[in-house]
Amino acid sequence: MIFISSKVFIALAAVVSVATASTVSQKRQEDLASCDFVFQPDAPVDPSADFDTEFNFVIGRSLSIETGGGTFNAGSTATENADDTFNVHDDIGADGKTAEETAAILTGWVGETKEGIAANWLVLSVTCA
């Protein structure tokens, strides 16, 4: 009887675990902040650099450091301006954060310098929808 009861308990625990796992929200992948940034490098940058990759790194790394967790970055797109600043659009989320919470963190970066590969980047502006 004890043997059968333990099997029932294990089976019940497995069903509860599967049911719970399927209802856990995946905020970071479904609830992304959609933001537009303006960055200025602290030194001249090579115009042939892959700036989409650069800003994926800059934004993703900085957000991960600030939140202490993982991030999901749908990808950055960057455009260089005539004044050597860069307009960047990014859709990004942080583990356990809503889009609004992530946006609040990102908009707080204005005036800060974020570490990059090609340069360090001063955040001139951030707007999130």
> How does pLDDT run across 95-115, given as a tens digit for each residue?
999 999 999 999 999 999 999
Given pLDDT bands bounded at 50, 70 and 90, which one contains residue 51? very high
- Residue 47 structure tokens: 């115009």
Given pLDDT bands bounded at 50, 70 and 90, which one contains residue 4? low
Flag whether 7 is in a domain: no
Q: How many domains in the chain? A: 1
Sign (positive or negative) of CA dihedral 35, 38, 41, 42: negative
Flag whether 111 is in a domain: yes
pLDDT at 3 over 50: no
Flag whether 84 is in a domain: yes
Flag whether 1 is in a domain: no
Domain that holds residue 79: 26-128
What CATH number should be reported for the domain holding residue 70?
3.30.70
Flag whether 13 is in a domain: no
- Residue 16 structure tokens: 């509860």
Flag whether 11 is in a domain: no
Flag whether 61 is in a domain: yes
pLDDT cut 90: percent of the chain above it: 75
DSSP 18: H
Residue whose token pair is 């940034």 = 37
Average pLDDT over residues 107-128: 98
Flag whether 118 is in a domain: yes
pTM of model > 0.85 = no
